[in-house]
Amino acid sequence: MIIKEFLPINKDDMDKRGWERLDFVLVLGDAYVDHPSFGGAIISRSLENAGFKVGIVAQPDWKSTKDIKRFGRPRLGFLITAGNLDSMVNHYTVSKRLRSKDSFSPGGKMGLRPDRATIVYSNLIRQAYKKMPIIIGGVEASLRRFAHYDYWSDRVRKSILIDSTADLLVYGMGENQIIEIANNLNDGLDIKYIRHIPGTCYITDDIENVYDYRIIASFEEIQENKRNFARAFRIQYEEQDPVTGKVLVQKHRNNYLVQNPPAVPLTQTQLDNAYSLPYMRNYHPSYEKLGGVPAIREVKHSIISERGCFGNCSFCSLTFHQGRIIRSRSHGSIIDEAKKITEDKDFKGYIHDVGGPTANFRHAACDKQLKKGACKKKQCLFPNPCGNLKIDHKDYLELLRKLRELPEVKKVFVRSGLRYDYIMADKDEEFLKELCMHHVSGQLKVAPEHVSNEVLNLMGKPGRQVYEKFVNKFYEINEEIGKKQFIVPYLMSSHPGSTLKSAIELAEYLRDIGYYPEQVQDFYPTPGTLSTCMYYTEINPLTMKQIYVPKSKLDKAMQRALLQYRSPKNYDLVEKALILAKREDLIGFGPKCLIRPKHKEGFKGRKGNDKSAKSNKVGKGNNRYKGNKKHGKRKPSRKK
């Protein structure tokens, strides 16, 4: 019987349920939040729904085995996830500085989980229970399943399965995998024989019984040679499809990492079921006195409507984690969740988001993808939309209409990723019009990332002209409907392939549209992405051609500064960049200049330059820009 309550976090909770022993203990790097936006919650509730008894050990003390032993020895095994983020990303900025806040910990407190949490927790369990089955999963394990480049140590590391000494690794969205593993263990099968499940990896010293596989360069080979690393990554990239993907084998000294093909995504019925489980939809009450868990605020009144993404941005890990096949929940399932949200005591009438990795993808890219798998050598949207791509927003539009008709709902916003190139490929403008009319909260955030086509090609993003057409159409529609709404573009500096010339091109674009970004994201080389492979090897693995990669602190600082060239603190870096790029024509007093020259008449030092910066800063207006449809230029809004 399933009880509408948090899963046990101690033996007293077990006693209340009448449980003498757990089947599984789930060790979490995050605080315990029982909400379907948290991977640990979905896995634990899925196991509970399948009849297994699960206890939660969240953020255990990693300097002793006391917390790990809290429930005693579980009957079937330990499960480990570092949390919703890689623990190193959670801890460190792209400049490798320690973050000041951990949104997934009580009160946002830092230091409640270790670096490389999956490895540390697994080794801790081995100390406490030497022969206990250990299964690792989540983003950290999933994206580190092969030998990989580790940005924080600036070296190639072994598969996380080797370093953690775990028995099995579940990669991707793991509901089906974990249930099948649990059933096998419950049937008495030793974990060393559970080697057949799609979406899992294991270590073996003999591949005699492995069939139809591709060998990729070994850990030692990719350590020694970056071209080997690039070739190995390309094979991994090509085989991440549940229909066509082959078994992959990578040698690590005397052992072999074996990756079974990806698991088939959940059916709509299975996905609906996963989100209908009895989640408490909040953090554990024990955290209340500590200030709660900040991460819940972003998702508590939001709805995940689908999984997967066929967008294939190079810097995104979705290809390696959720995959390219879209699986969407039914309208009924989503509306049921919306009704639960309206019953929350904190609900004010606003559903903050309805989406997923890409909100406006609600169906498979094409009919062929479901039968023959995603194309290995071709992408759905890049460099141009494929002729077979199904471009249709009708289902998503119908869903949004149903949600905004709910009596308790005042507004339904769309804040997760929208592919503007997919919107522009749709000949029917009805979706964009209704988006502007009903689902934008004053600002629409989209991600052009850059404007240099050289960089965009390596990012796997559409060309600059597609973004400009979208911007013009957005402002044209808003003018028609009498709304003053603004686009906020996400921009990235220092992506592989970005030179000073590219960064200056982006700075000039920002100058021309009158937009001054308060925040700019430096490229962050995280495991499992195409862009990270480019960063480490300085090779595009899809073409094996050499590319330029900004790596030095100075180069990265200059490129970042160029995107915020108006800031007085960036003056010296911008000046240096312009001189190095032989673009002194941008230093002067003309309307096209980025900065004024030093020691010249009219230059008043940092304060004088600061005046220029402030001219584009009015309340939140500097974070918005308004279009001029005739000329395609933007000017800062004066609306607060």
The CATH superfamily holding the domain 11-200 is: Cobalamin-binding domain (3.40.50.280)
CA nearest neighbour of 23 among 80, 79, 81, 83: 79
**Residue-wise pLDDT tens digits, 405-449:** 999 999 999 988 899 999 999 999 999 999 999 999 899 999 999
Residue 600: per-residue pLDDT: 54
Q: How far apart are CA 55 and CA 27, in angstroms?
A: 9
DSSP secondary structure letters along 444-457: EEEEEE---HHHHH
CA nearest neighbour of 316 among 240, 386, 390: 240
How many angstroms from the chain centroid is the CA of residue 458?
Answer: 18
**Residue-wise pLDDT tens digits, 105-124:** 999 999 999 999 999 999 99
Using the 8-state DSSP alphabet, how is residue 595 labeled?
B
- Count of other CB atoms within 10 angstroms of residue 493: 26
Residue 2: per-residue pLDDT: 63
Residue 132: per-residue pLDDT: 96
Residue 608: per-residue pLDDT: 38
Pairing of strands 168-170, 200-204: antiparallel
DSSP secondary structure letters along 485-522: -EEEEEEEES-TT--HHHHHHHHHHHHHHT---S--EE
Is the pTM above the cut of 0.95?
no
Q: Hey, which bits of 142-229 come out as E strands?
A: 148-150, 155-157, 168-170, 200-204, 213-216
Could you state, in chain order, the average pLDDT of each consecutive group of 10 residues for the chain (640 residues)? 85 95 98 97 98 98 96 98 97 96 97 98 96 96 98 98 98 96 98 97 96 97 97 96 96 97 96 97 97 95 95 90 93 98 95 94 90 88 93 97 97 93 96 97 93 96 96 97 94 97 97 90 95 98 97 96 96 97 96 87 43 34 40 36
Three-state SS string over 44-96 comes to HHHHHHCCCCEEEEECCCCCCCCCCCCCCCCCCEEEEECCCCCHHHHHECCCC
**Tokens 């953020």 appear where?**
59
Kindly give, in sequence order, each residue whose CB lies less than 8 Å from that of residue 2, ignoring residues fewer than 6 positions away: 48, 49, 278
Pairing of strands 134-137, 545-546: unpaired
Strand partners, 149: 156
The secondary structure element, H or E, covering residue 178 is helix 175-186
The domains of the chain are located at 11-200, 474-640
The secondary structure element, H or E, covering residue 377 is none
CB 200 within 8 A of CB 181: yes
